[in-house]
């Protein structure tokens, strides 16, 4: 299932990103880096089956739908990535080993094994830099306008990873924005949820892009929301998460 937010350039390939609710006036700027599992036909699915491209190795299932629901509830602008994380991961620094992954969990990625420098540069220029330049432009404009801003990435994670069950329904990931993060964690504690504090992942500047670069480096509160993807399978679940999260994000 291809991300319905994809906009097409010249009726051939999607743009690197889509802006949803561009004129939203919330203090929250939403990002959804792993919104899409789209891979252009010329890559021949990177040698993977169509079934694998529906799984978490290719994108964050349910994240785009939740991000759009939050954008509407908050009246917040949202920037969504339009290509699979397997081509290039928008939430990794370019120097990270898995920015273009050779393997994801149990699966080798055949189409990434012997990339030329030219192909790496192409993916960087076509898919990666436009997304981050757009985020930077929007943040610069908000700063110049004196608009208070919080950066929130919307992600999902698998219930089991490398054979290990993950007990959290949601995790709040953060670097320097501990005050904002703990307001979210405390707010979520009023629900019958197991909430991860920098779980199931943590933020590291050598492994993450959104929080360290677009948030912490600018002195802006920044967090990633990680919702377990078996809890984002239908419209009712997504609406429930949006209703829980929107009031907390705008505190």
Q: For residue 69, what pLDDT band results from cuts at 50, 70 and 90?
A: very high
Confidence of residue 6 (pLDDT cuts 50, 70, 90): very low
CATH of the domain at 188: 3.40.630.40
Evaluate whether residue 47 is within a structural domain. yes
Q: pLDDT digits over 146-168, tens only?
A: 999 999 999 999 999 878 899 99
Q: How many domains does the chain have?
A: 1
Residue 3 lies in a domain: no
197 domain residue, yes or no:
yes
Q: Which two tokens stand for residue 15?
A: 């743009």
**Quick one: average pLDDT of 131-157?**
97
Question: Is residue 67 a part of any domain in this protein?
Answer: yes
Q: What is the pLDDT of residue 237?
A: 98
Query: Does residue 87 lie in a domain region?
Result: yes
Average pLDDT of the residues in 169-197: 97
User: Residue 243 CB: number of other CB atoms within 10 A?
Assistant: 12
pLDDT of residue 251: 79
Give 163's DSSP letter. T
What average pLDDT does range 234-239 have in this prediction? 98
Within a domain: residue 146?
yes
What's the rounded Cα separation, in Å, for the pair 178 and 234? Answer: 31
Q: pLDDT at position 11, please? A: 55
Question: What average pLDDT does the segment 177-190 reach?
Answer: 96
Q: Are 233 and 158 in contact (CB under 8 A)?
A: no
Tell me the average pLDDT across 190-207: 95
Residues 6+ apart with CB under 8 A from 49: none
- 8-19 pLDDT, tens digit per residue, is 344 578 999 999
User: What are the start-end ranges of the E strands in the chain?
Assistant: 8-9, 13-14, 17-20, 28-32, 78-81, 103-104, 107-108, 150-157, 160-161, 164-165, 170-174, 195-197, 222-228
- Length of the chain measured in residues: 251
Give residue-wise pLDDT tens across range 102-123. 998 889 999 999 999 999 999 9
What is the domain extent for residue 172? Answer: 8-249
pLDDT, the chain, mean: 94
- Residue 1 falls inside a structural domain: no
Give a yes or no: residue 2 inside a domain. Answer: no
User: Rounded mean pLDDT of 194-218?
Assistant: 96
- For tokens 């190795």, name the residue: 57
Band (pLDDT 50/70/90 cuts) for residue 219 is very high
User: Which tens digits make up the pLDDT trace of 35-57?
Assistant: 999 999 999 999 999 999 999 99
């Amino acid at each position: 299932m291809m991300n319905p937010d994809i906009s097409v350039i010249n009726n051939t390939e999607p743009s690197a990103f889509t802006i949803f609710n561009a004129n939203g006036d919330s203090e929250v700027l939403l990002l959804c880096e792993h919104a899409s599992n789209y891979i252009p036909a010329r890559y021949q699915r990177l040698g993977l089956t169509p079934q694998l491209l529906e799984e978490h190795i290719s994108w964050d299932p349910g994240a785009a739908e939740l991000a759009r629901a939050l954008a509407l509830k908050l009246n917040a602008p949202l920037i969504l990535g339009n290509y699979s994380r397997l081509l290039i991961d928008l939430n990794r620094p370019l120097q990270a080993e898995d920015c273009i992954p050779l393997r994801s969990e149990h699966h080798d990625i055949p189409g990434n094994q012997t990339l030329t420098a030219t192909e790496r540069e192409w993916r960087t220029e076509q898919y990666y830099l436009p997304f981050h330049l757009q985020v930077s432009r929007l943040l610069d404009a908000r700063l110049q306008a004196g608009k208070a801003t919080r950066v929130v990435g919307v992600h999902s994670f698998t219930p089991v990873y490398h054979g290990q069950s993950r007990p959290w329904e949601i995790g709040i990931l953060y670097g320097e924005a501990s005050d904002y993060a703990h307001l979210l964690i405390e707010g979520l504690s009023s629900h019958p949820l197991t909430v991860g504090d920098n779980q199931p992942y943590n933020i590291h500047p050598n492994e993450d892009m959104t929080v360290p670069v677009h948030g912490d480096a600018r002195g802006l509160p920044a967090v990633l929301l990680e919702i377990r993807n078996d809890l984002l399978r239908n419209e009712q679940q997504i609406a429930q998460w949006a209703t829980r999260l929107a009031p907390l994000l705008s505190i």
